[in-house]
Chains A and B, each alone.
Chain A
Amino acid sequence: MNYFPDEVIEHVFDFVTSHKDRHSISLVCKSWFKIERYSRQNVFIGNCYAINPERLLRRFPCFKSLTLKGKPHFADFNLVPHGWGGFVQPWIEALARSRVGLEELRLKRMVVTDESLELLSRSFVNFKSLVLVSCEGFSTDGLASIASNCRHLQDLDLQENEIDDHRGQWLSCFPETYTSLVTLNFACLEGETNLVALERLVARSPNLRSLKLNRAVPLDALARLMACAPQIVDLGVGSYEDEQDSESCLKLQAAIRKCTSLRSLSGFLEAAPHCLSAFHPVCHNLTSLNLSYAAEIHGSHLIKLIEHCKKLQRIGDKGLEVVASTCKELQELRVFPTDLQGGGNTAVTEDGLVAISAGCPKLHSILYFCQQMTNAALITVAKNCPNFIRFRLCILEPHKPDHVTSQPLDEGFGAIVQACKNLKRLSVSGLLTDQVFLYIGMYATELEMLSIAFAGDTDKGMLYVLNGCKKMRKLEIRDSPFGDAALLADVNKYETMRSLWMSSCEVTLGGCKRLARKAPWLNVEIINENDNNRMEENGYEGRQKVDKLYLYRTVVGTRVDAPPFVWIL
């Protein structure tokens, strides 16, 4: 390959876009490493503490898009205390000082401040795309900076962030001359929206493809917006309330009929059921329907809506039998529990899951909450759908066995991992012994992420997984009896993984210290919200159990921004 000039090789590399593949070609030889370095456009950093901005810039001086992830996944469920870390400010400062022509920034579970957003908006002339997922720490003032200063902004996508809504005028900060908007998602904003500014913005954005509104956008405003943007592909609806205003409904229906490109629908935060019928004309084209937040939509209206959606590929809802019989193209499904406390009548049991698996052969990703499960059902599901890539099952009551046989669910999950040869992500629940982990270690060869809660009997369980799953990247465990023996058995395994989380398990402080000594290239963090010092004063400190352990490989050593309740060994 040395017969080609560098420019030619670089041109060939342009067609190689996946991060894994770019990484592979960089390892071929020095020359390719160098060419790949300078031509890398998109950088993905799965753990912001595995590397620092300086080293990033040294390796890739010319990238345009950066993806950064901060807190561990269990932070989504309040397991990581506030202030743990994941600050984006040092990254933006470093990038601003350098000559990187940043165009896209995608952040997940990071702490973002208004100051960061302001600096971002002023530092990169060609900045085009900002995607923030599950972030916190900023307000609408930060959004105002982005709107004011990013002349070439195309995407502003805010997904499930905690944003301090100052009810300001951030929407009117987009200049009148600004017309390049493609994606606007502000569904997670809680406060009022300047409807006039929004309508004017949408009216002057001919390239707008994706629009996701928040609660504060009522029905008549929605009708006007749809009328301005018939080219829309992806729509997130705001609040409908119990609209008696039939005129608005009619206007909405007329506007929606013209949206022939609409393929994806979400939102419905407070939906008046009879207004759902306004969407029936476009349902047959929908490939994605996310009704996770549609708490108001009950059975029959939901069913009517789904019946109109023949081409669904992605869906999140509760009308499972109807889904199974009408949505033959279904690929992803999310089912959430309406009753968090358990008990009461529940429409979501193992029967629903079996029906879906039988009716939707293209299903490859599922997140399913339910009250009860059986091995027989899981075995049937495995037979019906061997194509699962993501299988996340959450039985609400911890340790719950097969409700028919009272046996653990080892065999059921075993069938899933055996049949689904491409399984990349798995979450297990219910009563489970070490046996299920034996199966996972044996059969789940492609597994990259595993979530374990209230499962297993002994260290053997965790060892089966660590020894067996060669492609494991993220392992998160809570409330399971795995201890030091499992943690320390194969320290080098952690170099092949992004991170390990263990909370309320049997690992001790002594064990963690031994691990940290053996593996200096790991950051071993003990997160202890209680008085941290007590751990050291206690005479039996070696045997003291660690409440939360988070370890991850890193090339830049101990991070300097850890709060007092995080102890890095």
Chain B
Amino acid sequence: MENSNSYSPYSSSSVDSTKPSPSESSVNLSLSLTFPSTSSQRETSQDWPPIKPRLRDTLKSLRLRQRGYNTALFVKVYMEGVPIGRKLDLSTFSGYKSLLENLSHMFDTSVICGTRDSKNHVLTYQDKDGDWMMVGDIPWDMFLETVRRLKITRPERC
């Protein structure tokens, strides 16, 4: 099959993060919530493989357990500048959206992924290598397996 076939799993009809958009320049590093265009995106999206949602959730929790996690996945969450942190069970969220909603509610401010601006708190995480990364770049399942702690940064620090 030629790679120009637009139905290969290596591109998505709605997001193509491999091509730079014309508006990007070296100064304006606007990140948006994109997933790498690999086949893993297709496989972890909600409509493939064709498994009913309830069964999918059950199988997911099995996989997490097999990899040594309890289904409860508590991580520490700190708001930059606030010494006392919170603890959050990430396994109760279905994805980034519900995580952000919950954090926004918990810390009583708007928390977002990715886009840096002067107004919003941006969510970052420490992965299993100890590096601090922007939340939202990798598929949710992968994120659950690598995240160790969360930090909500103050806007200007990014």
Contacts and interface: CB of A to CB of B under 8 A. Distances in A.
A79 B62 CA distance: 25
Interface string B20-58: 000000000000000000011011101111111111101
Contact of A369 (B13, B49, B54): B49
Given A76-B50, A188-B54, A396-B43, A337 B9 contact: no
A77 B7 contact: no
Contacts of A338: 59, 62-63, 66
B43 A397 contact: yes
B54 A77 contact: no
Contact of A396 (B13, B47, B49, B142): B49
A341 B141 contact: yes
A250 B68 CA distance: 31
A342 B43 contact: yes
A78 B46 contact: yes
Contacts of A457: 1
Contacts of A340: 43-44, 49, 51, 56, 59-60, 63, 141
A134 B54 CA distance: 11
Contacts of B1: 399, 431, 457
A160 B53 CA distance: 10
B18 interface: no
Interface of A is mostly: loop
B102 interface: no
A509 interface: no
Contacts of B52: 76-77, 134, 160
Given A78-B47, A336-B51, A369-B49, A296 B62 contact: yes
Interface in A468-491: 479-481
A124 interface: no
Contacts of A396: 43, 49
B115 interface: no
B153 interface: no
Nearest to B14: A530
Contact of B9 (A160, A369, A399): A399
B67 to A, nearest CB: 9
Interface string A285-329: 000000011011000000000000000000000000000000000
A394 interface: yes
B110 interface: no
B49 to A, nearest CB: 5
Contacts of B13: 504
B8 interface: yes
A481 B55 contact: no
Interface in B56-77: 56, 58-63, 65-66
Contact of A394 (B40, B50, B141): B50
B68 to A, nearest CB: 13
A451 B51 CA distance: 14
B43 A399 contact: no
B7 A394 contact: no
B118 interface: no
A339 B58 contact: no
Given A296-B62, A338-B59, A481-B5, A78 B43 contact: no
Interface residues of A, number: 35
A79 B49 contact: no
A342 B41 CA distance: 11
Contacts of B50: 74, 76-77, 394, 451, 453
> Which of A78, A338, A431, A451 has the most CB atoms of chain B within a 10 A radius of its CB?
A78
Interface string A397-437: 11100000000000000000000000000000001000000
Q: Which of B48, B53, B58 has the most CB of A within 10 A?
A: B48
A388 interface: no
Given A399-B1, A431-B1, A454-B7, A341 B62 contact: no
Nearest to B39: A397
Contacts of B46: 77-78
A78 B44 contact: no
A256 to B, nearest CB: 24
A336 B61 CA distance: 14
A504 B11 CA distance: 13
A457 to B, nearest CB: 8
Interface in A61-106: 74, 76-79
Contacts of A77: 46-48, 50-52
Nearest to B8: A399
A517 B87 CA distance: 60
A399 B39 CA distance: 10
A186 B14 CA distance: 39
A481 B4 CA distance: 12
A309 to B, nearest CB: 22
B47 to A, nearest CB: 5
Nearest to B142: A341
B59 A295 contact: yes
Contact of B44 (A74, A341, A431, A481): A341
A293 B55 CA distance: 7
Interface string A431-452: 1000000000000000000010
B10 to A, nearest CB: 9
Interface of A: 74, 76-79, 134, 160, 188, 269, 292-293, 295-296, 336-342, 369, 394, 396-399, 431, 451, 453-454, 457, 479-481, 504
Closest A-B pairs by Cβ, 6 of them = A295-B62, A77-B50, A78-B46, A295-B58, A398-B9, A77-B47
Interface of B: 1, 5, 7-9, 13, 39-40, 42-44, 46-56, 58-63, 65-66, 141-142
Given A340-B63, A399-B9, 17 more contacts: A76-B50, A77-B48, A77-B51, A78-B47, A134-B52, A293-B58, A295-B61, A337-B59, A338-B63, A338-B66, A340-B49, A340-B51, A340-B141, A341-B43, A342-B40, A398-B9, A399-B8
11 contacts: A77-B48, A269-B58, A295-B61, A295-B62, A338-B63, A340-B43, A394-B50, A398-B9, A453-B50, A454-B9, A479-B7
